[in-house]
Structure 1
């Protein structure tokens, strides 16, 4: 099962029973304990009624195992838990299999909030200090990217409350990103974006002209950019975020070649070369070509 299918609660069957908000958090706790204890585990069986973890060295005869099952009351209980590892750990690789992206993100969020261009090598060092493990550059990159999205993109705030975090950032002449303002909102609507943009203009942007606003195609943002006088030319000019545009295009057309041609066309500065890239897309897939032509090229 994936993270969305984990049971809602786990209750231990011992006298020290405690509730865990969801099984994903249970696995996170096991991951942290086993990373620090130099142990690795894997999911051995996973259904909507049963969930079982075993030691990665089960083939050596290791008996470590944690099994949970759903009860008639639709609760989950840890029915068996063998706590002792009997395997020979040997020389564990630094890149511990249970040291996943979520654990890396938890380490990096604070540093990336202070410095958007926090180097990958420094990320690896930060994880090493916390977990005493050296993770691969690929895994570190994925954690860095996810932490950057959490800090600098409008995003869900996960936890007890169903709220949104709206964030505005700027970029200086050296290409360095820096935070401008943020707001915690009940939802991501035209009203909440309107209030945020009005306050941003009033207290941060003030009388500055010619501001370039780059965003995804969220309806709340687009409606306000179209209707708020102080966010229209010559005060401000709206452009679509190319990264979000490419992500939407990739969902519709799962072709690496098409995505590469689309990106090459979008970043092209010369009109003649832009049309050559678009013609390449048209010859390969006319439907994809027309999809791109529905987008305002001035954006």
Structure 2
């Protein structure tokens, strides 16, 4: 029988054969895992030495049951199957829903192409892919670990990424002197173990400043808003549109007037108010009325719709009255909203940065920098194209008018 040498070799009937050769010990183990997953069986390691790898079926009961022994042949620089019994008396019924050999490393290899295409791939999608490929349903934790390992393999470890971040920022600021980077570090503990906690600037309405924080807290928002007011907001009358999250309200109150009139005007997204209203009253037939009240531009129109809501129940208007009118209604905003009623603009930036939040921190910052750079370059080209097209059209119209005037003898 001729020998076969490959990373994970198989013969036509997808079985092992004696004298089959493998390029490495790793290739041997990979082939065994794939075989047992495909056959819905499992094995137990009986001998694992530097030069020998010997396993048997977990249901091994006699010399006739499945076993395989592979040894390293030094003179050939390969691993060779020296003994093999292909008889499996166990059946799939002996297997559990999951498989012990279907570990996170195997899963990571199986989903590699999917994650490279879409870093925001959901864990449930990983589970579905494993089910499709191996016919096993793995646990949520195993699928999550597989994705984390793959992201780390592609983009580097999470702690190493934190260590590399200051170096990358230094290089970025060297190339772009107008860029501003602010770090705040502090010791953080989980039990007795010190963990990393680095915070710096978050995407809001427009992609001017970003902050990466541990969670949405008043301290995190104060950090972001303080830096935004110091480095970006340079004039009075700026509007801040947000949801009604208590952490944002608290940060605004703690900002020493930096985000209060006349310096800034804090207003609420009408879609978030609509969502809060529905969560409170479960009255979908009134949601549109609440939104319309916010969009009305005159006090008279506002009062008509407000009264209509009140007629449906005083509880509805009592709830709405707890929100200052200037924070949600165009009729009372003195023009500071410039017609913007929602934070929907942020969704566009989220689409540009899709999947980036799943990356280790330095890869995340790089993704934000490069993707926005590409976005700005593309938008600039589109704007210049529109300007040029407008100029050509204007020249054409002017020439046509001039020609008509000549024909009519007016000039």
| TM-score, with structure 2 as normaliser | 0.38
Contact 2:24 2:79 in 1 (8 A): no
Counterpart of 2:52 in structure 1 is 50
Q: CA deviation at 1:84?
A: 1.4
* 2:162 corresponds to 1:216: yes
| Residue 41 (structure 2) aligned to one of 28, 39, 42 | 39
| Residue 101 (structure 2) aligned to one of 92, 98, 101 | 98
Q: CA deviation at 1:56?
A: 1.3
Distance (whole Å) between structure 2 residues aligned to residue 106 and residue 10 of structure 1 = 14
Contact 2:8 2:27 in 1 (8 A): no
**Residues 15 and 67 from structure 1, CA distance in 2 versus in 1: closer, same or farther, beyond 3 angstroms?**
closer
Deviations 1:198-238 (A, max 9, x none): xxxxxxxxxxxxxxxx94324xx755644665446532537
Q: CA deviation at 1:147?
A: 2.0
Q: Specify which structure has the higher proportion of strand.
A: 1
Contact 2:71 2:81 in 1 (8 A): yes
Contact 1:230 1:236 in 2 (8 A): no
In angstroms, what is the RMSD of aligned CA positions?
Answer: 4.3
Counterpart of 1:200 in structure 2 is none
Q: CA deviation at 1:49?
A: 2.7
Unaligned ranges ≥5, structure 2 = 1-6, 11-15, 200-212, 221-411
| Residue 122 (structure 1) aligned to one of 125, 142, 145 | 125
**SS of residue paired to 1:78:** strand
Distance (whole Å) between structure 2 residues aligned to residue 24 and residue 238 of structure 1 = 45
Q: Specify which structure has the higher proportion of helix.
A: 2
| Residue 179 (structure 2) aligned to one of 221, 235, 245 | 235
**Residues 137 and 109 from structure 1, CA distance in 2 versus in 1: closer, same or farther, beyond 3 angstroms?**
same
**SS of residue paired to 2:121:** coil
Compare 262-271 and 71-80 and name the one that shifted more: 262-271
Compare 24-33 and 73-82 and name the one that shifted more: 73-82
**Residues 119 and 256 from structure 1, CA distance in 2 versus in 1: closer, same or farther, beyond 3 angstroms?**
same
Distance (whole Å) between structure 2 residues aligned to residue 264 and residue 224 of structure 1 = 15
**Residues 215 and 86 from structure 1, CA distance in 2 versus in 1: closer, same or farther, beyond 3 angstroms?**
closer
Contact 1:61 1:87 in 2 (8 A): no
Counterpart of 1:207 in structure 2 is none
Contact 1:34 1:40 in 2 (8 A): yes
Q: CA deviation at 1:269?
A: 6.5
**SS of residue paired to 2:54:** strand
Q: Tell me the number of residue pairs that the alignment of Structure 1 and Structure 2 aligns.
A: 192
**SS of residue paired to 1:143:** helix
Q: CA deviation at 1:55?
A: 0.6
Distance (whole Å) between structure 2 residues aligned to residue 26 and residue 15 of structure 1 = 13
**SS of residue paired to 2:181:** strand
| Higher RCO structure (Cα 8 Å, ≥6 apart) | 2
Rg (Cα) greater in structure? 2
Unaligned ranges ≥5, structure 1 = 1-8, 156-213, 250-254, 272-299
**SS of residue paired to 1:90:** helix
Distance (whole Å) between structure 2 residues aligned to residue 92 and residue 150 of structure 1 = 31
**Residues 111 and 88 from structure 1, CA distance in 2 versus in 1: closer, same or farther, beyond 3 angstroms?**
closer
* 2:193 corresponds to 1:259: yes
Q: CA deviation at 1:24?
A: 1.4
Map residues 1-299 of structure 1 onto 2, 5 A cutoff.
17=19, 19-59=21-61, 63-71=65-73, 73=75, 75-151=78-154, 153-154=155-156, 215-218=161-164, 225-226=169-170, 230-231=174-175, 234-237=178-181, 257-259=191-193, 267=214, 270=219
| TM-score, with structure 1 as normaliser | 0.51
